[in-house]
Amino acid sequence: MTDTLQHLSQRQREFALERDWDQFHSPKNLASALIVEAGELLEHFQWMTEEQSRRLPPEKLEAVGTEIADVLLYLIQLSNVLGIDPVKAAQAKIQVNSDKYPVDRAKGSSKKYDQL
């Protein structure tokens, strides 16, 4: 990962502004587009076994990478529009998850935090 999230955010913001697309980028529209792209990402794994999903051929890996990029770019644009720093939000969420899933109780378990 050679680019920073901050740089990507700035590039995405400029891309949308240059095209006057900010008029279409309401939080609702961006969240909807994000889910559509996430669905397209999931579609690449539909009907695969767990093992197949871990060993994607190069052409499939490239297509999956494109969908991951779409999801990331919509997430960045949504963060821009709402004024949310996604790195700070993710760091806070990791701490919440760490508190909910302490290593001594959650390690190796797929149980939800209230069932540990």
Distance CA 48, CA 59 (A): 15
Q: Looking at residue 2, what is its pLDDT?
A: 56
Q: What angle do CA 39, 42, 44 make, to 5 degrees?
A: 120
Q: Looking at residue 100, what is its pLDDT?
A: 95
Question: Can you give the residue ranges of every domain in the chain?
Answer: 5-84, 86-116
Given the candidates 1.20.1250.20, 3.90.1010.10, 1.10.287.1080, 1.10.10.10, the CATH classification of the domain at 5-84 is: 1.10.287.1080
Q: Looking at residue 109, what is its pLDDT?
A: 93
**Cβ atoms of residues 37 and 69 within 8 Å:** no
Per-residue pLDDT of the chain (116 residues; tens, 9 = 90+): 556 999 999 999 999 999 999 999 999 999 999 999 999 999 999 999 999 999 999 999 999 999 999 999 999 999 999 999 999 999 999 999 999 999 999 999 999 988 89
Report field, pTM of the whole predicted structure over 0.85? yes
Distance CA 40, CA 30 (A): 15
Phi/psi of residue 83, nearest 5 degrees: 70, 30
Residue labelled with tokens 């701490």: 95
